[in-house]
Every structure is written in structure tokens, then in C-alpha cells.
Structure 1
């Protein structure tokens, strides 16, 4: 059986990324479901091999993926990390994490990987390195020249797709357009198909309190959101809304809806992290390959202390495998 190759980027070297990546691989490799390929600077290896679990694993240093083997951690050296590890935002952390992503994306675009699971990066480190990206989503969109990319978040009982990404809250109302919603609906339906959810029931969160109470608190529900929903429903889909956000996520969690379209970052992420902080998964929708990641950041304050929880990254790995199997089966 040909096992899928799953690429892992370590994220910001000063954060918890290196720890949780190796921990997640070691705890799941014995299932014999995948071949692991880790992208990072070789000089960081000594800083993660102190873990009793990781120290027992064989590390296979490989120049390219033709040398990748089963039953071990295959490691692709990406750049050189000089000096002591800096456990906060800095330029060298940003540059190294960027180089890891570049190499992994290159291999994924060449179909050498079935999926990429990314460790958390630090946006400030990127900026200090002169890299003007607001996160993985915009970076991956640019590297793959993808037109329609959305942030999605997955748990067993609550799944959401964001209509906008990392933008100031003050800019959200003008960003909510019919085109913006069209993109989110399209990516949500494709995500549903990849999860084998047939004929999904989708709910759209309102932007304003109480869905604006017939225009008392805003016009977006009446002039933008509702007409877009009607257009898609006329094509045979089941999309409901706009529904006041203060009740919608409870209803979705109870099983009334398969997916929620959230209009901005915190609207969708607060319920996800409240209910599933340690096992929610971020998935980038609209790329030519599968990309998942944990739903948390670098956590510099607990890195390299044995305190990091790899639960969310393990969930990201399991979702990547699930999507890989579906995509491979249906292709």
C-alpha cells in the first residue's frame, strides 16, 4: 500500500511549533497511515529530541522526497538557524519559517505531498523579516496564485467558513459583498463535498445585532446577504439566513446546520475556540492541495518547556488524512 506523504512545517522556531509537530507525528506514526516529511532547519533538531517520545524515533535526513521512508521522521533541511533560539518575534524566526513554507509548497505543487500541516507562525516575525503577509492564508494564496481562498475551521460538531480573513473590524462591513459571499459559499460547498457531506445545510451569520431588525441596526442583511442567499438557493442549494449570530452557533452545535458562514474572524473563531480549543483545525479552502493547521498561535511563553499541547495539531493531521483519502478516492 502506498501511504500518503504528509508534509509538516515547523512554524516559528521560537514557538511551540517544533514541539507539537514532532509530538503529533510520534503519537500517530504507529498507525501506519502516512509517511511524515518535516520541513525545518536541521540545527533545531537537538532542541526537540530531548522529548522521551521523540528521542526514540529514527530521523531520516533526506535531500528530496524520493528518499522518504516509512516508519520514521523524514526531515528536509530548510535554511540555517544560527545562534540560540529566540523565543519571541524576530526577523530570523520569520525568515526560517517562510523558507520552510516555500519548500513544502513547492513539493505540494509538484504533487509530491498529499497534504501540508503547518505549525503556527508569528506575523510580527514575518514583518520583521520584511515579509508583508498577514498569515498563512494570504501567503499560500499568493504562492499558489489561487483566486478564491477562504479560511475554514473544523470540529466534529461545528464547522465554519469565514467570508473575510485578517482585516480590521472597521473594514468588515464594506468587505461584505455578494462576490465575497459567493466565494465563501463555493468554498464551503467544495469543503462539504471533500468531507462526503451530501446536500449540506448551510447557515449564514448576520453582521448586525438581531440581523438588523428589518433595517434598524444596518442594511447589509437586506441589501447584500439575503439577495446572495436567494440567488444560491434558486440554484438548488440549502442556505439559510442571515441568522443572528448570538443564537446561530448554538443551533449549529446542536446539529441544525452542517456549516456556518461567519462574516469576520472573531465572529467565527470565538465559538470554535470556546468549545474546541485543543482540537479545532484551521483548513485553507481553495488551494490546489490540502493544507491544515492547529487553531492556535506560537505560544512563545511556554515553548521548549514541555508544556505545549499537540491536540490541535494531531486533529489537523487527522483531518489532512481524511481529506487526502477522500480526494484520492474521488480523483
Structure 2
């Protein structure tokens, strides 16, 4: 199994090229030799220049063509969206063949992606399609709080519909298996309720009693150390304080808001249950600051560190 990390540089007009070259420049020589950037060399050279870096990119880049590169910073375009897709597609194929051990993705722009005819809700849906995987879960990891989601990029109405007993149970299982893989012997998992106060015995809805509670009971019967449903207005604080290793969030904002509050610059997005490993920064393309040499690349450093942990565990 390869120990090479493959960074996809994301949308060429966003901050992805900058955070990719900044992270590469900070690495030890040994780590740099175990890293490839999937992107466009002309764009990465432009990012290196605006960042004021003196680093030789020779042999560090899987160079894929982008028409009229480097593109203008901060400008939405179908050309950029198509390029972002092709960087990821190539990295996925190399991960499947064993050339690289884990993909680390810089941010893409969903509007640009769709303008280019690639109709995905984001990285996770794209990776699921490219690998033929039936399921993939978004896990956000920080030092003191980790959250896995039952659903992500869907409307709140659809998220409630998707919070079935089967799906919640599958999410619990996926989170438990992932934490065991990264070194937790007996992960302590909490499942957040979907309604205020978990429905107050039906007063505010019955989904917690009818759908989520049975999933928790089934997971417990399998020997998983899980509790819930627990009211979402307290469970994240309890986990952050050390009571739980992982929280199962029922929908996108329920899990994203607490993570971004406590670990905005360091949280890592991890795709769980794909046939390949992938981590990502937990922020967007930041078109407003792209090309200005001011972006914070700490999130990218965290995503790379998590990727190396996954590769080491796999080996």
C-alpha cells in the first residue's frame, strides 16, 4: 500500500492552489517526497508566486491541462469547475490502483462544478459516484469534537425524511468502525435527537421515539457503546467536554455548526465507508481572498496529518 498523499488542488480560481503549495512548502523533505498535488502546474506556480514561496514544484505535480491557465482568481467559471472535477477523477483512479494511499481535497465550488455539467452535491457525492460506492458518510474531526452525519447536502425536509432507523443505525456502525480504525478501542458514541428535547415524548414530534431510538437500541444489541437520542442542545457540549468520542448528527447544520464554532481552522472532513481514503479541508473556495496571499492553510495541514494517520493505520 502506497504511503503517498495525493492533494487535489480544488477550484483553480479559489484558495485551493495556495493552501496546497503552502502546505507542501512547510513539509519535511521526507514528507514532501510522499506527496503529490493533482492540479495544474501553471496555476500552482501562480499560487506559489502570490504566496511568496521559494519551492521547486518539479516532480511534485500531476499536471493536468486547464484552458488559459492560470485563470483569474476569484472568478466563477465552468472551466474551473471542470478542471476541479478532472483533478479529483485522476486522483481517485490513482488511489484505486494503489499509486497513492489517501486523497486530500482542497475546496471545490459546487456552482462551478454544476456549470461544467458535473451534477454532484459536493465532494462526497462525487467520490461515491466515481468509486461506485453505495454509501459514504461525512465525518468532521477535531481534537475535542468529532461528528458524523446521517445526511448532509439535502433540504431540512428531506433530512428528516432520511433519518430512518436503518440509516441512523448504518451511520452509528460507520462511525464506530472508523474510530476503532484510528485507535479508539471502545468508542463512546452519542446520537443527537432530531427534534427539540428529542420530541418531549411526542409533544414536539415522534421521530426520536419512532425512528432514532430503535436504531440506538439495535446498535447497543450489537455491542456498540452508544447512547441516545440525546437532545442536540446539550450533546455537543457534553462531547466537547469529554463525555463522548463521537456524536451522530441527524443533518448538515446540526453537526457543522458546533464543529465550526470550536474548530473552524482545524477541523478535518473525512469520507467514511468509501473504498478509498479521503480527507479534506472543512472550508470553501473563499473567492474573496483567492490570489491575495493571505489565506490560512492550517486546515489543510490538519487534513494532511489525518490522511497520514489513515495511511499508517492501513499499512
Deviation, 1:52, is 6.1
For 1:75, the equivalent position in structure 2 comes to: 61
After TM superposition, the score normalised by the length of structure 1 is 0.91
Rounded Cα–Cα distance in structure 2 between residues aligned with 1:222 and 1:130: 41
Rounded Cα–Cα distance in structure 1 between residues aligned with 2:2 and 2:134: 30
Rounded Cα–Cα distance in structure 1 between residues aligned with 2:181 and 2:305: 14
Q: What SS is found at the alignment partner of 1:231?
A: helix
Rounded Cα–Cα distance in structure 2 between residues aligned with 1:75 and 1:32: 14
Q: Is residue 283 of structure 1 aligned with residue 270 of structure 2?
A: yes
Q: Is residue 169 of structure 1 aligned with residue 167 of structure 2?
A: no
Q: Is residue 218 of structure 1 aligned with residue 205 of structure 2?
A: yes
For 2:291, the equivalent position in structure 1 comes to: 304
Rounded Cα–Cα distance in structure 1 between residues aligned with 2:288 and 2:122: 20
Given that 1:43 and 1:81 are in contact with CA atoms closer than 8 Å, whether structure 2 keeps it comes out as: no
Question: Which of 262-271 and 38-47 deviates more?
Answer: 38-47
Rounded Cα–Cα distance in structure 2 between residues aligned with 1:135 and 1:302: 21
Given that 2:24 and 2:32 are in contact with CA atoms closer than 8 Å, whether structure 1 keeps it comes out as: no
For 1:315, the equivalent position in structure 2 comes to: 302
Q: Is residue 13 of structure 1 aligned with residue 12 of structure 2?
A: yes
Q: What SS is found at the alignment partner of 1:302?
A: coil
Provide runs of 4+ in structure 1 moved above 6 Å. none
Rounded Cα–Cα distance in structure 2 between residues aligned with 1:106 and 1:308: 30
Q: Is residue 134 of structure 1 aligned with residue 121 of structure 2?
A: yes
Question: Which of 173-182 and 92-101 deviates more?
Answer: 173-182
TM alignment of 1:1-331, pairs within 5 A: 4-30=3-29, 32=31, 35-51=34-50, 54-55=53-54, 57-61=55-59, 74-82=60-68, 84-328=71-315
Rounded Cα–Cα distance in structure 1 between residues aligned with 2:51 and 2:215: 54
Structure 2: runs of 5+ lacking an equivalent: none
Rounded Cα–Cα distance in structure 2 between residues aligned with 1:46 and 1:325: 30
After TM superposition, the score normalised by the length of structure 2 is 0.96
Deviation, 1:249, is 0.4
Given that 1:78 and 1:103 are in contact with CA atoms closer than 8 Å, whether structure 2 keeps it comes out as: no
Residues 83-137 of structure 1: per-residue CA shift (max 9 Å, x gap): 5425132100100000100100000000110111001000000111111101000
Rounded Cα–Cα distance in structure 1 between residues aligned with 2:9 and 2:167: 31
Deviation, 1:34, is 5.6
Rounded Cα–Cα distance in structure 2 between residues aligned with 1:127 and 1:112: 29
Given that 2:141 and 2:268 are in contact with CA atoms closer than 8 Å, whether structure 1 keeps it comes out as: yes
Deviation, 1:11, is 0.3
Q: What SS is found at the alignment partner of 1:59?
A: coil
Deviation, 1:242, is 0.5
Q: CA RMSD in A?
A: 1.6
Q: What SS is found at the alignment partner of 1:261?
A: strand
Q: What SS is found at the alignment partner of 1:60?
A: coil
Rounded Cα–Cα distance in structure 2 between residues aligned with 1:103 and 1:3: 16
CA separation of 1:225 and 1:175: change in aligned 2, threshold 3 A: same
Rounded Cα–Cα distance in structure 2 between residues aligned with 1:22 and 1:3: 22
